Chain A
C-alpha cells in the first residue's frame, strides 16, 4: 500500500470514529481513501471548507469522546495551529497527520522535513506540546498511527504524525493489525448530555487569577511524564562508532544506505534514529556523546532537529549538519561523502 492509504486504514483499525479534512497535495490519497472506507464502517467522513474548519470538526467530535483525526500538508497544518492549540488547552485527544512538503509559503509539493520546529514546539500559541512521531517506513507509519490514538486518549492531547511526500506516496508491504492496546482512562469528561450527572464543560479559558498558571503546570507535569515514558528511538552500531548519524523519517532511510556503504569501507559509523521527535531521545543521544564521537545530523531542511541534537549532546562532542531545504532530498553519495570527510576530523579529537 502507499503510505497515505496505509495510514488511513491504520486509523480505521485504531477505532477512529471520524475523519475531517481539506484537500492538499501530497496527502490527497488520505481523504479519498477515508471517503470510501469510513461510510463502509458506519463511521464519519466530512470534507471541510478549510483546514480551520477541519480541525474544529475534530475538536467537536473529540469533545464528545469520539476518536477523531485529520490530515493535511504543511500550509494546511499552519492553518490548523489554531485548533491544535485549543485542543491542547482543552485537554482533548486528536490525531493530526502532516505529510510535509517544501515551504515556506506555498512552497512546492516535494517531500520535506521543514515543519519539525512547528510540530515539536507546539506550533500554535501558548505553552504546550504535542507528541510527534517521525516514522521512516510505511509499516512504522501504520504502527505509529495506531499508537497515536492510544497516546492521545491516555494523555488527553493532540498527537502529530509527521510524514513527508515520499513516505505518503511510496508503496511498501504492510501488516495491518493492532498489536497492543493500552489501558485507557474513562472519558468521563466527554460531552454526552448531562444525563444522571452534573454538567460537563470543555474549555480552554481560565480567567481567575492563577487558574491558567495552575492549568499550565498541570499540562507541564503531564509533558514531563511523557518525556520519561514515551521516547522511542532506534540505534544501530553506535557502540564502536566514531561517527554517529542522527536522522528521522525518510532521511533516516537514506542515511541507512550511506552508513552500510561506509561500514563496507571500514568506517566506524552508526546511527541514532528518533521515532518520537517529541519527546526527543535526549538521554540516548547524550549517553552516546559520553565518548568522543562526531555527530552528523541529516535532515531535509536547513537544520531544525540539529538544535535538539546539540542540546542533547550538550557540548560534549562536535555536531555536524547536512541538510537539503525546499524539497531537496539528500542522496546516499552526498551523505557518504560527508561521512568520509568527518572521518578525517574524527582522528583529531578537538
Chain B
C-alpha cells in the first residue's frame, strides 16, 4: 500500500476545539504544509490572535506567541526587526485584523514590514458569539444585527485587502477561499508564495485573505455555508490576486 495523504509534521496530531464545518482546520493545515514544504519549521515564529484561533499554538508545532486583540502586526514588527533571519507570520481573523487591529495592519503594511499575514475572513465574530464584524455582509443576521446588517446604519463590508493593496509597502496580496478542493489548492499556492517572498527577503508585507465558513454563526449547515461563500461572499469579496 502506498500512502498518498498524511498529516504534515507541523500540524499536531490532536483534536481541535473548532466547531463542525469551521474553516480554521483547513487553513491551519495549509499553513503547516507550506512551512514543512519550505523547510522553515525551525526558524518560523507564529502569532496567534484573539479570536477563535487564539489556541493556534496547540495545533501548529512551531514557536508561537498569543498577543493582545488586533496587535499581531505590531508584535510581528518587533520580532522581525530584531530577528531578520526568522520567518514571522501572523494569523488573524476579521475582527482582529479589520476592526480593532485596523491601525496595526495598515501601518505594518505602510512600513513594508517583511512579514506574512494570514487573514481569515468569515464575516463574523466567532469566539464571542457571532457578533457583526467589519466584513459582515449586508442583510447578514448576527447577534448584534438581529434584523440583518444595514449599510446606512452599520456600514458596509470592509474590503481590507483592497485597501492594503494601495500601499507601496505591500508586495503581495491575494484573496482566496477554502470552500471547495480547487480553491483550497489555490489558497495553498498563495500561502506558499507569500511565505516564499519572506524567505527570499523580498522587501514588503505579503497577505493572503481566505474566505472561510462559520456555519454555526451563519446559521446554516456546513455544506450550505460552502455554497454561501461561492454564491454570496465572493460577490462582495472577489477572489484573485490584488497585488504582486
B64 contacts chain A at the CB level, 8 A cutoff: yes
Query: In the complex, which residues 71-122 of chain B have their Cβ closer than 8 Å to any Cβ of chain A?
Result: 71, 74-79, 81-83, 86, 103-104, 106-107, 110-111
Contact A83 B78 (CB under 8 A): no
Contact A200 B79 (CB under 8 A): no
Contact A191 B63 (CB under 8 A): yes
Note all chain A residues with C-beta closer than 8 A to B44. Answer: 193
Query: In the complex, which residues 123-155 of chain B have their Cβ closer than 8 Å to any Cβ of chain A?
Result: none
Contact B66 A204 (CB under 8 A): yes
- In the complex, what distance in Å separates the CA atom of A59 from the CA atom of B45? 14
Q: With A53-B71, A53-B107 known to touch, is A195 a contact of B79 (CB < 8 Å)?
A: no
Q: With A49-B107, A83-B68 known to touch, is A193 a contact of B43 (CB < 8 Å)?
A: yes
Contact A49 B103 (CB under 8 A): yes
With beta carbons under 8 angstroms apart, the residue of A44, A68, A86, A195 that contacts B67 is A86
Query: In the complex, which residues 266-312 of chain A have their Cβ closer than 8 Å to any Cβ of chain B?
Result: none
- In the complex, what distance in Å separates the CA atom of A45 from the CA atom of B130? 40
Q: How many residues of A contact B (CB 8 A)?
A: 39
What residue in chain B is nearest A85 (Cβ atoms)? Answer: B68
With beta carbons under 8 angstroms apart, the residue of A17, A82, A195, A201 that contacts B64 is A201
What residue in chain B is nearest A190 (Cβ atoms)? Answer: B63
Note all chain A residues with C-beta closer than 8 A to B242. Answer: none
Q: How far is the CB of A349 from chain B (nearest CB, A)?
A: 53
Q: How far is the CB of A13 from chain B (nearest CB, A)?
A: 18
7 other A-B residue contacts (CB within 8 Å) besides A44-B81, A193-B43: A56-B104, A57-B81, A63-B75, A66-B82, A68-B78, A199-B57, A203-B66
A202 contacts chain B at the CB level, 8 A cutoff: yes
Note all chain B residues with C-beta closer than 8 A to A96. Answer: none
- In the complex, what distance in Å separates the CA atom of A89 from the CA atom of B138? 39
Contact A18 B81 (CB under 8 A): yes
Interface size band for B: 20 to 34
Note all chain A residues with C-beta closer than 8 A to B229. Answer: none
Tell me what chain A mostly uses at the interface: helix, strand, loop, or mixed.
Answer: mixed
- Name A's B-contacting residues (CB within 8 A): 17-18, 20, 44, 46, 48-50, 52-54, 56-64, 66, 68, 82-83, 86, 90, 191-196, 199-205
Note all chain A residues with C-beta closer than 8 A to B61. Answer: 194, 199
B41 contacts chain A at the CB level, 8 A cutoff: yes
- Name B's A-contacting residues (CB within 8 A): 41-45, 47, 54-55, 57, 61-68, 71, 74-79, 81-83, 86, 103-104, 106-107, 110-111
Contact A57 B77 (CB under 8 A): yes
Q: How far is the CB of B71 from chain A (nearest CB, A)?
A: 4
Q: With A64-B86, A199-B63 known to touch, is A59 a contact of B43 (CB < 8 Å)?
A: no
Q: How far is the CB of B184 from chain A (nearest CB, A)?
A: 25
Q: With A49-B103, A194-B63, A201-B57 known to touch, is A60 a contact of B68 (CB < 8 Å)?
A: no
- In the complex, what distance in Å separates the CA atom of A199 from the CA atom of B132? 35
Contact B42 A59 (CB under 8 A): no
Q: With A49-B104, A56-B71, A202-B65 known to touch, is A18 a contact of B42 (CB < 8 Å)?
A: no
Contact B63 A68 (CB under 8 A): no
What residue in chain B is nearest A62 (Cβ atoms)? Answer: B78
Note all chain A residues with C-beta closer than 8 A to B77. Answer: 46, 48, 53, 57, 60
Contact B45 A193 (CB under 8 A): yes
With beta carbons under 8 angstroms apart, the residue of B62, B66, B104 that contacts A53 is B104
Which of B63, B68, B107 is most buried by chain A, counting CB atoms within 10 A of its CB?
Answer: B63
Q: How far is the CB of B96 from chain A (nearest CB, A)?
A: 13
Contact A203 B57 (CB under 8 A): yes
- In the complex, what distance in Å separates the CA atom of A50 from the CA atom of B55? 27
Note all chain B residues with C-beta closer than 8 A to A90. Answer: 65
Instruction: List 19 interface pairs A-B (beta carbons < 8 Å), by A numbering.
Output: A18-B81, A20-B78, A48-B74, A49-B106, A53-B77, A53-B107, A56-B68, A56-B74, A57-B77, A59-B75, A60-B65, A60-B76, A192-B45, A193-B44, A193-B62, A194-B62, A194-B63, A199-B62, A202-B66
